[in-house]
Amino acid sequence: MVDSYGRALDYLRLSITDRCNLRCLYCMPKDGVEWKSHDAILSFEEILTSCRILANRGIRKIKITGGEFLVRKDAVNLIRKIKAVPGIEELSVTTNGLLLEPCLEELAAVPLSGINISLNTLSAQTFRRISGYDKPGYPAAVLQSIEHARSLGIPVKINCVPLKNININELVDIAALAEKTVDAVRFIELMPIGCAAKMESMQAEDIRAILEQHYGKLQRVKKNIGNGPAVYYSAAGFSGTIGMINAMTEGFCETCNRLRLTPEGLLKPCLSSDMTLDLRSLLRSGASDEYISKCIEEIIARKPAGHSFSGIYGNVKKNHTDKDMFRIGG
């Protein structure tokens, strides 16, 4: 699949649930939200049909997201089936890590090409502040799962969202996990979507300055790592890398390779656009694979050049408070 800007699309971010066991400040309102009913979200069979049609059109890599994907019943079984869809070469997941431990052996057997774990703090107190999660055992349980995952041969990346006045004093310690504990630690510029639109983010340049003060000059890694837009750096003595996802200040839309599918079956050619294709309705109306495939081709032809978060792509800068990141899948 190639869009009208010549970008080859081979990567699907597939959100299998809008539900989550956390309420992170930048993602989901603290008082909760109205969950989509079971009937409103794609069934396993519908997800697999969607993956099959998309794989026929050239999708090769899938990232399972949520909400928190592990809160969906039987998620690991679904993942095993998605990996078996002809054409799918790589399957990875993104998770907050809290429910990971008992599933790791089964996930390793899928096999997964990687696990991304959201980890914004190493302090139980700050974790409560960011996520509303109030059980003991954080972050020890997540760190233990990271170690276990790597012992099973699954590469692990950490995703951290630096938040002004909340976790800035921990960035050096979180980056230190790339010294020998994980394959990469990535710092993500907050995008102004949903709850995050009201929060103050940090720019990648400032994050890098903090890290360089402690670790010395970070050297840009030339080769591409993973399927995403992160720019990677190495630090002296680190076996893993440090990544920056500079959505706001630099952008990465010119090399975009991705589509998104929401839990309720809306195929989104771009994170920032309101344009969607309602796969659920198409599937439930009995549309043929050929017809659905043609609809996909049409919406891909309309994929925008870039996002409208900051105006760097010449789009009119838009307010995205009406969108829910936990439904789009990050």
Binding residues vs ligand SF4 (CB under 6 A): 252-253, 256, 258, 270-272, 306-307
Q: Give the number of other Cβ atoms within 10 Å of residue 99's Cβ.
A: 16
Q: Which is nearer to ligand SF4, 168 or 197 (CB)?
A: 197
Q: Where are the alpha helices (DSSP H) in 240-305?
A: 279-284, 289-301
Q: Are strands 231-234 and 241-245 parallel, antiparallel or unpaired?
A: antiparallel
- Give least dist CB 306 to ligand SF4, A: 5
Those residues with Cβ within 8 angstroms of residue 212's Cβ, 6 or more apart along the chain or in another chain: 218
- Give least dist CB 247 to ligand SF4, A: 7
- Give least dist CB 270 to ligand SF4, A: 3
Q: Which is nearer to ligand SF4, 122 or 328 (CB)?
A: 328
Q: Which is nearer to ligand SF4, 107 or 247 (CB)?
A: 247
How far apart (Å, rounded) are the C-alpha atoms in residues 213 and 162?
17
Q: Which is nearer to ligand SF4, 162 or 192 (CB)?
A: 192
Q: Which is nearer to ligand SF4, 72 or 307 (CB)?
A: 307
- Give least dist CB 307 to ligand SF4, A: 3
Q: Which is nearer to ligand SF4, 154 or 328 (CB)?
A: 328
Write out the DSSP string of 130-165.
HH----S-TTHHHHHHHHHHHHTT--EEEEE--BTT
- Give least dist CB 4 to ligand SF4, A: 12
Q: Quote the crossing angle between the two packed helices 75-83 and 44-56, to the nearest 10°.
A: 20
Q: Taking the alpha carbons of 10, 16, 18, 24 in that order, is the dihedral positive or negative?
A: negative
82, 47 in Cβ contact below 8 A?
A: yes
Q: Are strands 266-268 and 277-278 parallel, antiparallel or unpaired?
A: antiparallel
Q: Which is nearer to ligand SF4, 258 or 280 (CB)?
A: 258
- Give least dist CB 322 to ligand SF4, A: 16
168-197 exposure pattern, b = at least 16 Cβ within 10 A, e = fewer: eebbeebbbbbeebbbbbbbbbbbbbbbbb
- Give least dist CB 62 to ligand SF4, A: 15
